[in-house]
Amino acid sequence: MAEETPAKKAGPTDTEAPPESTPEPPSEPAAEDQGENLEPPSEPATEKQGPDLPRGFVLKRVVRGFSAHKGTDLAAALTYYAVLAVFPATIALASVPALVGQEADPTAAILDVVDDVAPALVEDLRGPIEQLAQVPAAGLGLLIGLLGALWVASGYVGAFGRSLNQIYGVEEGRPFWKLRPAMLLVTLATVVLVALAVVLLVMTGPLARAVGDAIGLGDVAVTVWDIAKWPVLIVVVLMVIALLYWATPNVRHPKFRLISAGALLALVVWAVASAGFGFYVANFADYDRTYGSLAGVVVFLLWLWITNIALLFGAAFDMERERVRELRAGIPAEERLQLPPRDTRKSDKTAAKAAQDAQSAREFREHQGRRDAD
């Protein structure tokens, strides 16, 4: 019996050892499994946080690209077309009341806007605009004249599209019969929006009070409108810029943005640059002594040049933002945007003719080489 007792005690001891050893092996693989389950999420997180674009990537590329594409030269060319377009567009704007048979005279409104921008030009423009505004409705003749003015004014819109094509690095592929009507429609829409902006500018003071009295608001309308018209005017100007950015280049954008970051930047740059230029002209420059009676014209041309620089700079900013969007989507846009062109028929024909000329020149050279060898 004494031998059986230790044997029975030894039995439980042997049975207790395995339970102590059995939990350890499962616990170690479990810890390893948990470690393996925790590691994979950390690796994708590291990949997502991978190399980001340098700080100020967009703005740096805008500045470099603007310089590489000779943005100031493009703005100078646009200034030339703007000068050709300003007067016809003003004529078209002043012709509308006579065309529709209304008594309204927009001459004062137009001259007030010109006076704010270039006071020296007011007297030069007053006579022609007043004469045109006083012409009675002439039916088809006036309509033809209005269309002719729009045709000339559309030259600026077409030049703006060619400038954006150069910034985007694309060729104009739209044939004439497709491009010209599109530019005319953009010009017409721009003139309408500019007319709306003029209405917003001149509808103040007595005119706003008269409208308020007519609808029963009185002086309240004047106060409210004097505050509200400026945001509305800014939106209208942004619509004009967005339309030029979207419709003029031979690039098919993913969607039309009524207000883009580039348009906002262009408006801010234009406002700051115009204020700085006005301060410089008023306090430091002496254009009257240098240019005499042409001082106002020179100042106006410089201001137009600054305006076009701001517009092209904003377009370049939108282009670089589109590049970042494509890069984030995995699209290879490091060197060139992958936006489809609106049309390639014209550029394809031009390339085919260039290839044909090159082939003719090559055959001539080879023939001359064989003749010299003989």
Distance, in Å, from the CA atom of 108 to the CA atom of 22, rounded to the nearest integer, reads: 99
pTM of the model: 0.73
Token pair in block for residue 260: 């883009």
Of the chain, the end-to-end C-alpha distance in Å amounts to 129
Distance, in Å, from the CA atom of 195 to the CA atom of 104, rounded to the nearest integer, reads: 13
Distance, in Å, from the CA atom of 281 to the CA atom of 49, rounded to the nearest integer, reads: 50
Residues in the chain: 374
- For residue 184, what pLDDT is reported? 92
Distance, in Å, from the CA atom of 271 to the CA atom of 280, rounded to the nearest integer, reads: 14
CB-based contact 162:75 (threshold 8 Å) = no
| Amino acid at site 147 | L
Distance, in Å, from the CA atom of 212 to the CA atom of 206, rounded to the nearest integer, reads: 10
Contacts 24+ apart (CB under 8 A), 10-13: none
CA gyration radius for the chain? Answer: 35
pLDDT tens across 132-190, in order? Answer: 555 554 455 556 667 777 888 899 999 999 999 999 999 999 999 999 999 999 999 98
Q: Which residues contact 71 (CB under 8 A, 6 or more apart)?
A: 167, 309, 312, 313, 316
Which residues of the chain carry a pLDDT beneath 70?
1-50, 88-145, 202, 204-208, 210-218, 220-221, 285, 374
pLDDT tens across 261-284, in order? Answer: 999 999 999 999 988 888 888 787
Q: Which residues contact 52 (CB under 8 A, 6 or more apart)?
A: none
CB burial of 7-38 (b: ≥16 within 10 Å; e: otherwise) equals eeeeeeeeeeeeeeeeeeeeeeeeeeeeeeee
